[in-house]
Amino acid sequence: MVTERDVQLVQDIESRINKVMLEYPISENKALELLSEVTSAKRAANMTLHDNQFGEKKRIREQKRQALAEARDPGLKARFQKPKSGKRKSGAK
């Protein structure tokens, strides 16, 4: 299953290995079954990461580092601010 965003990736791989990849024949029902299984596993993994507060220590260290830098030189605050991309994360309100 290749989406329109994957076309360039596939072409890059093909050029790197000097071989054209062929379509793998599979029934739509089987593909949807496998996609459902992968989606469920991904959702479970994300919930586990969230439950284990994955990334929380990194966020706390970054806040501490920023606070220490600001205490040393208040003019450094602008350096630590991440630019706003204008995109919202899924689930954001």
pLDDT digit string (tens) for 63-87? Answer: 999 888 888 886 666 665 666 665 5
pTM exceeds cut of 0.75: no
Q: How far is CA 29 from CA 32, 33, 34, in A?
A: 5, 6, 9
pLDDT tens-digit series, residues 22-52:
988 999 999 999 999 999 999 999 999 999 9
Cα angle at 16 between 15 and 17, to 5 degrees? 95
